[in-house]
Structure 1
């Protein structure tokens, strides 16, 4: 599997983890709990999610190789 495929897979799983962390944070706020670590829990997947997202965003502009699964811009 190519690097791009791995980055895409990691990005997808990180987005699921971030969504679950945000849902846990909202549930804690609705319950009235003021627990700092629940609020910071969303930052753990957010930082690598940002890095992989920026990489995926930049791929079309970096002139990807032919055959790596990227479509040429029209």
Structure 2
């Protein structure tokens, strides 16, 4: 498996984890007294989504630039 495919798969699975943690946070917010740390659960997957998403965003431009430089 190539590096780009690994990043793409990581991005997809992390997005699923992120959605689940956001749903958990909303369900916790509906409780009488939710624990505050539950609202921080979506942040680690969101940070990973940021880095993998930026990589995937820049990838076509880097490939195009590498082709024109050759």
Normalised by the length of structure 2, the TM-score is 0.84
Cross-structure match for 1:2: 2
Aligned residue pair count: 66
Query: Which runs of 4 or more aligned residues in structure 1 lie more than 4 Å from their structure 2 counterparts after TM superposition?
Result: none
Q: Offset at 1:34?
A: 2.7
- Alpha-carbon distance between aligned partners in 2 of 1:58 and 1:43, rounded to the nearest angstrom: 23
Deviations 1:4-57 (A, max 9, x none): 000000001100000000000000111233312110000011111100000001
Scaled by the length of structure 1, the TM-score of the pair is 0.80
After TM superposition, list the pairs within 5 Å mapping 1:1-74 onto structure 2. 1-63=1-63
Q: Which has the higher helix share?
A: 2
Q: Which runs of 5+ in 1 are unaligned?
A: 67-74
Give the root-mean-square deviation of aligned CA atoms.
Answer: 1.7
